[in-house]
A and B are shown apart, each in its own frame.
Chain A
């Protein structure tokens, strides 16, 4: 499969726990994005990488959220001390350099915080 892969697909956790999501983009794509989507809303930008460099992070993003892309390939998104308001679908997308913002999305990782 040459698409964008996200794991786990579903995560249920208790409030206060830490969770980590992984995204494997299409191999030749050097741009990687994280979005969050809640019910009834469109995706909301969280952060994006060009290779291993995190170039932009949403001002709405709490300090409890951190993302990495250490070798410019896969990326992880960690949420520390989860809150019920963090329950959402976390989407990863990638595109090649010069891809004009035409994103290829993964299936998402759904987080439920109890």
Chain B
């Protein structure tokens, strides 16, 4: 069965620090990968997605992710985080009509 793993359940950073959140998946075929974010008290919303083409994808709010097929990874990055990036981040893999989700990473940015 396909699965998605997010290694860090909690990450605490200071403002202006660089961010990298890990996401690994298990699936040998063509993948569609997503990062969603859930800000406190808000609904899930799409940060970025990868379907094909350039493995480095850019999303909203300065986030980017790199698809590395050989490592089955799709890590999320941001060069300089802000307090407003405090949220929970979810990686997801498309399986047919549905999405398989990681357990999420709670990111806290200290001002």
Chain A residues engaging chain B, CB cutoff 8 angstroms: 3-4, 31, 33, 40-45, 48, 55-56, 91, 93, 100-103, 105-108
Chain B residues engaging chain A, CB cutoff 8 angstroms: 4, 9, 32, 34, 42-46, 49, 51, 90, 92, 94, 96-104
Give the total number of A-B pairs whose CB atoms are below 8 A apart. 56
Beta-carbon contact of B104 and A105 below 8 Å: no
Beta-carbon contact of B103 and A40 below 8 Å: yes
Beta-carbon contact of B103 and A41 below 8 Å: yes
For A92, the closest partner residue in chain B by CB is B43
For B106, the closest partner residue in chain A by CB is A40
Nearest-neighbour CB distance to chain A for B3, whole angstroms, equals 11
Complex A-B, nearest 3 residue pairs according to Cβ-Cβ distance, in ascending order: A42-B101, A105-B44, A45-B98
Beta-carbon contact of B94 and A101 below 8 Å: yes
Contacts of A48 in B (CB 8 A): 97-98
Contacts of A101 in B (CB 8 A): 32, 34, 94, 97-99
